[in-house]
């Protein structure tokens, strides 16, 4: 019996030592210490021994059991640590490796130009406002001194939805809205960037395009204010050397009205293909707000005066970035848009 105990113990310790994962260790536990295990079997036959032998054998079996249990526990710890180490190894990341490059979207050239203009005018105390793209005939034309049947309506081929509603052809529509809304007659200083629509489609015209409108209404507003403002605006967008030329023109909502040309930023005014050899590029419509417009929208023209201007943002963006076809701005072709990836 003594030898048997010692054999079982040696065998168990050896197998525990050799086991190399938690699972086989579990199996050994069952094999030696479980209910039907080898040592447990020996304890069961204890009753058949003589009373003298019994305590000795009992204590031998128990100490074997303790030794095996201890060995098992220490082995289990070793194995667990090994497994943990393996797991950590497999999860290890090298933070010094270069990251996978993420494709980031880029700001659309039109949005860049809009943001730049907004920043400039906000710095001069203007508010940025918007109006509906689906506009009424009343705000788009009538309140701007363009009654139904007025010949100047021909200048803007329009998309009518119904006799009363159309897609706005000009951001000027918001001029009337701003004046009507300003019941207290506080000074108006606004710009209105936004989408406009006309029935045209070629390399320099798109059925959808963008304008920015400017309107200032207050007491004692004169042409000098308009001229100074547009000079700041154009120099900021196209360079400090830019010169402006005011040509008399006609818009129903301003009197006098001007078309404003800027000196060609490509040739500096010498004449090139961009300015069609004239040295000038036509860029804005502007003027002194017509007394009829002030009156129709709640302002006494003997007290108040104002100036207004409007320009195509698409053309500005095209000049700024050397884009030759306006439709590229609206085609959402990533090959085009990627060229405006931010480098910063």
- Contact residues toward ligand DAH (CB under 6 A) are 170, 172, 213, 251, 254, 285-287, 308-310
Q: Which is nearer to ligand DAH, 37 or 312 (CB)?
A: 312
The secondary structure of residue 254, as a DSSP letter, is E
Query: How many angstroms separate the CA atoms of 340 and 104, rounded?
Result: 11
Q: How far is the CB of 170 from ligand DAH (least distance, A)?
A: 4
Q: How far is the CB of 179 from ligand DAH (least distance, A)?
A: 13
Q: How far is the CB of 268 from ligand DAH (least distance, A)?
A: 27
Q: How far is the CB of 241 from ligand DAH (least distance, A)?
A: 25
Token digits of residue 139:
């705000």
Query: How many angstroms separate the CA atoms of 105 and 151, rounded?
Result: 45
> Which residues does 93 contact at the CB level (< 8 Å), separation at least 6?
none
Q: How far is the CB of 310 from ligand DAH (least distance, A)?
A: 3
- Taking residue 155's Cβ as centre, other Cβ atoms within 10 Å add up to 14
The secondary structure of residue 45, as a DSSP letter, is G
Among candidate residues 237, 231, 228, 216, the one with its CA nearest the CA of residue 115: 237
Q: Which is nearer to ligand DAH, 19 or 175 (CB)?
A: 175
Q: Which is nearer to ligand DAH, 242 or 254 (CB)?
A: 254
Name the CA dihedral angle for 244, 249, 252, 256, rounded to a multiple of 10 degrees.
70
**φ, ψ at 184 (rounded to 5°):** -80, -5
Query: How many angstroms separate the CA atoms of 17 and 165, rounded?
Result: 90
Q: How far is the CB of 159 from ligand DAH (least distance, A)?
A: 15
Burial environment of residue 267 by CB neighbours within 10 A (0 to 12, 13 to 18, 19 or more): middle
Q: Which is nearer to ligand DAH, 178 or 264 (CB)?
A: 178
Q: How far is the CB of 309 from ligand DAH (least distance, A)?
A: 5
Q: Which is nearer to ligand DAH, 113 or 313 (CB)?
A: 313
Q: Which is nearer to ligand DAH, 37 or 285 (CB)?
A: 285
Query: How many angstroms separate the CA atoms of 229 and 219, rounded?
Result: 17
Q: Which is nearer to ligand DAH, 106 or 136 (CB)?
A: 136
Q: Which is nearer to ligand DAH, 251 or 319 (CB)?
A: 251
The backbone region for 159, taken as left when phi is positive above 0, alpha when psi lies in -120 to 50, beta otherwise, is beta
Q: How far is the CB of 230 from ligand DAH (least distance, A)?
A: 11
Strand blocks (E) in 149-299? 159-160, 165-167, 188-197, 208-218, 244-251, 254-263, 280-289
């Amino acid at each position: 019996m003594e030898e048997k105990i010692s054999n079982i113990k040696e065998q168990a310790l050896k197998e525990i030592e050799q086991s190399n994962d938690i699972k086989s260790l579990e199996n050994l536990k069952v094999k030696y210490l479980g209910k039907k295990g080898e040592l447990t079997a020996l304890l069961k036959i204890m009753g058949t021994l003589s009373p003298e032998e019994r305590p000795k054998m009992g204590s031998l079996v128990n100490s074997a059991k303790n030794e095996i249990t201890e060995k098992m526990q220490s082995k289990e710890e070793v194995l667990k640590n090994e497994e943990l180490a393996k797991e950590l190894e497999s999860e290890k990341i090298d933070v010094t490796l270069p990251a996978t490059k993420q494709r980031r979207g880029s700001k659309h050239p039109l949005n860049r130009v809009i943001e730049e203009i907004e920043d400039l005018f906000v710095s001069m105390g203007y508010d940025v406002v918007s109006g509906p793209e689906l506009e009424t005939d009343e705000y788009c034309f009538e309140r701007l001194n363009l009654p139904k049947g007025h010949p100047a309506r021909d200048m803007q081929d329009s998309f009518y939805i119904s006799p009363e509603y159309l897609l706005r052809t000009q951001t000027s529509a918001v001029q009337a809205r701003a004046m009507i809304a300003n019941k207290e007659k506080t000074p108006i200083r606004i710009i209105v960037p936004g989408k406009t629509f006309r029935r045209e489609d070629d390399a320099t015209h798109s059925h959808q395009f963008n304008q920015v409108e400017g309107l200032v209404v207050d007491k004692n507003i004169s042409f000098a204010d308009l001229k100074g403002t547009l000079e700041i605006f154009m120099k900021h967008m196209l360079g400090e050397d830019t010169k402006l030329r005011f040509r008399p023109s006609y818009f129903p909502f301003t009197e006098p009205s001007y078309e404003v040309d800027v000196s060609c930023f490509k040739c500096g005014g010498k004449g090139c293909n961009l300015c069609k050899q004239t040295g000038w590029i036509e860029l804005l419509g502007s003027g002194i707000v017509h007394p009829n417009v002030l009156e129709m929208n709640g302002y006494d023209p003997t007290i108040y005066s104002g100036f207004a201007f409007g320009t195509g943002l698409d053309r500005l963006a095209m000049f700024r970035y050397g884009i030759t076809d306006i439709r590229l701005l609206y085609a959402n072709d990533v090959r085009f848009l990627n060229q405006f990836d931010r480098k910063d």
